[in-house]
Structure 1
């Protein structure tokens, strides 16, 4: 009988990207928070393996998200839609390789493809636990990003796949979304720079 292979992964800098409209995206891979480790069956009751990795996707918003206004709700909807499109493709790719994978709907905290558990996932609490970003509470909890302030939209993917499988899927789908490396984006957008 062979033992399961144990993967190690040291947290490195996040994958830094820029969207077609100039907003930044940061993606990082982490081991699950202690809350998720303790409550997996309450969030994802059908998963037979523990969550091995959590992918945090932070999108820069055009507006601070702490207020309630029509244009802010439209922005949240736009960012959610972009994450869902990105996340569903990444999750499908990982599932096709035989891994458990799902994304959490930022709107309600429940998994998108798996059966709902008895409690929702709290993306803001996970980002705070994993990245240490402060949170402002009001009508809803808002993360304060060190560079973007409250103009940040957090989202979460989870998978039993190791980072060696997750990272290529993230990068491939980022390219499909039209997200670019910020240094290349800057070079292409500077007037007079030859391509």
Structure 2
């Protein structure tokens, strides 16, 4: 059986509240693109984010097609992500730090509609974790080493370093 540990990446593993499917959480430095464009991506922040928190939610079904069942599963996964990310945000805010929740549907920070650029979450996952992706009908689809396309990628950004971010998750 294939393991993520063979890739030299060690995720934090937790489980979805509604479905008890795994969630992989990776804490990485932000990409150069995010650093260079942070004022356009996060206009309300006056500092550059230091840490990307990649959250990969396992899906019951592959997500590469477009039909009612897939759209319902994506909505369920988005709600699961938003519930988890709001809990994480409360923890970070209690410590007096910033955290941005990026909406997986449109790549914009939640509660910050003024951003001029959108995050390409699949590109961030590809660059930081080296997971492959491909295009289907003009959309990028993540190809997870274990789950293939039955994965829902999402993203948080933090203004504290990796070690502190990991300790608060």
Match of residue 151 from structure 1: 150
Q: RMSD across aligned C-alpha pairs, in angstroms?
A: 1.6
1:114: Cα distance to partner?
3.4
Q: Which residue of 2 aligns with 1:116?
A: 114
Tell me how far apart the structure 2 counterparts of residues 133 and 127 of structure 1 sit (CA, whole Å): 7
Unaligned runs of 5+ in 1: 1-10, 171-195
Cα offset, 1:164, TM superposition: 3.6
Unaligned runs of 5+ in 2: 1-7
Q: Which of 118, 126, 130 matches 1:128?
A: 126
1:75 and 1:113 map into 2 onto residues whose CA distance is: 24
Corresponding pairs, count: 160
Structure 2 residue 64 is the aligned partner of structure 1 residue 96: no
Per-residue CA shift, 1:90-115, capped at 9, x if unaligned?
Answer: 11221221111111000111001335
SS at match of 1:143: strand
- Partner residue, 2:25: 27
Q: Secondary structure at the match of 2:136?
A: coil
Structure label with greater radius of gyration: 1
- SS at 1:161 equivalent: coil
TM-score (norm 2): 0.88
Residues 16 and 25 of structure 1 are in contact (CA less than 8 Å); yes or no, is this contact kept in structure 2? yes
Q: 1 CA distance for matches of 2:136 and 2:61? A: 17
8 Å contact from structure 1 (residues 56, 127) kept in 2: yes
Counterpart in 2 of 1:18?
Answer: 15
Q: Quick check: which one's strand share is greater?
A: 2
Partners of 1:80 and 1:132 lie apart in 2 by 23
Aligned residue number for residue 182 of structure 1? none
Asked if the contact 1:59/1:79 (under 8 Å) is kept, the reply is yes
Report the alpha carbon displacement of residue 12 of structure 1 after superposing the two structures with TM.
5.7
Instruction: Name the counterpart of 2:42.
Output: 44
